[in-house]
Amino acid sequence: MIEELKSMELSKEEFIKLRDYIHKTIGVLVDNDKEYLIKQRLEPVIKSFNLSGFSELCDVLKFPPIGLIEQITIAITTNETSFFRDKGPFDVFNKVLLSDLTKLINERKSKLFSRKGAKVKIWCVASSTGQEPYSLAMLINEYCENNINGVSLEDFSILATDINTTVLAQAIKGKYNAIEINRGLDAYRIEKYFRQENNDWIVNEKLQSIVEFRRLNLTNSFLSLGGFDLILCRNVLIYFDDKTKIKILEEIYQLLSAEGALILGSSENVYGLNEKFKSQHIEKTLLYKKH
């Protein structure tokens, strides 16, 4: 037992090697005071690949076995989430942005022969296990059910991306356990949008029909994704260095439609990173739009 504990010690040199490798490979910047994070997240990976400890992990990264990099990515990028997490942006979406997006849809419909071309496109940049995009889909559906302006669920599309293939697999299935389903959802929405299957709850096909999940590494160019009318990039930039933040924000700016809006996390902003955006406060939520 003493040997096993000793083998899992993380030296300063090993931490630096792993920190730099994660930054180079995934783009995530681990602060110098977060040795505990590397240790906590990567110990299970070391055990699953039958490695002796962090020293051997550093060695095998020169020629990594199949699946190791993906497991490191999953371990480092898995974060807490819930339905309707941080209520403010969802309130603004429901009270203000949905009305603005409806006007945009109707304007496009009046100019286009194709209904498909009139769609409003929303992008959830780091969707994790899917709670954020499905929360938006619920609000869109409820708005369409109560709206007399002629828009329907099929007038909206949501792209949800993440680098972590494990969380994406769960999001695509739309499957949540008892703890996950009760974080942020009331009984009405659980009954309305989910069906129970043993001890899990599955998102209904109606919501799933407007959400597309895709793997994306933000350190690579994502300009090929096309244009969006609303981009939620919440609690993402905090994991990157300034150079990567600048790159991400510049590409987001290029993808944002003329009428579009960007929402960041409550502790994030664009100041000193991109001067092209203008900010707008709605209640306690900060929106960024094109000048």
Give the domain ranges of the chain. Answer: 2-77, 87-290
Question: For domain 2-77, which CATH number applies: 3.40.50, 1.10.3470, 3.30.720, 1.10.155?
Answer: 1.10.155
115, 120, 126, 130: CA torsion to nearest 10: -60
Residue 98 neighbours by CB distance under 10 Å: 21
Residue 74: closest CA among 160, 164, 162: 164
Per-residue model confidence (pLDDT) at position 111: 83
End-to-end C-alpha distance for the chain, whole angstroms? 62
CA distance linking residue 7 with residue 1, whole number of Å: 10
SS3 274: coil
Could you give the CA distance from residue 7 to residue 229 in angstroms, rounded to a whole number?
Answer: 51
The model's pLDDT over 150-176, given as tens digits with 9 standing for 90+, comes to 899 999 999 999 999 999 999 999 999
Tokens 């020293």 map to which residue?
55
Say what the pLDDT of residue 234 is.
95
From CA 261, how far away is CA 258, in angstroms rounded? 9
CATH superfamily of 87-290: Vaccinia Virus protein VP39 (3.40.50.150)
What's the rounded Cα separation, in Å, for the pair 43 and 10? 10
Q: What's residue 6's pLDDT?
A: 47
Q: Which residues pair with 124 in a beta bridge?
A: 160, 232
DSSP 81-120: --TT-SHHHHHHIIIIIHHHHHHHHHHHHHH-S-SGGG-E
Per CATH, 2-77 and 87-290 having the same topology is answered: no
Residues of the chain scoring pLDDT < 70: 1-7, 113-117
**CA distance linking residue 232 with residue 220, whole number of Å:** 18
In this prediction, residue 3 carries a pLDDT of 42
- What burial class does residue 130 get, using C-beta atoms within 10 Å of its C-beta: 0-12 exposed, 13-18 middle, 19+ buried? buried
Beta bridge partners of 213: 160
Q: According to the model, what pLDDT value does residue 168 have?
A: 95
Which residues on neighbouring strands pair with residue 290, listed in sequence order? 277
Which residues of the chain form beta strands (DSSP E)? Answer: 120-124, 156-162, 175-177, 194-197, 200-203, 211-215, 228-233, 256-264, 277-282, 285-290
Task: Give the chain's count of helices (H) and strands (E).
Answer: 13, 10
Residue 84 Cα distances to 11, 71, 138, 167, angstroms: 40, 28, 10, 17
Confidence at residue 51, expressed as pLDDT on a 0 to 100 scale: 93
What's the pLDDT score for residue 172?
98
Q: What is the pLDDT of residues 34-44, one digit of tens each?
A: 899 899 999 99
Question: Measured between alpha carbons, how far is 291 from 275 in angstroms, rounded to an integer?
Answer: 10
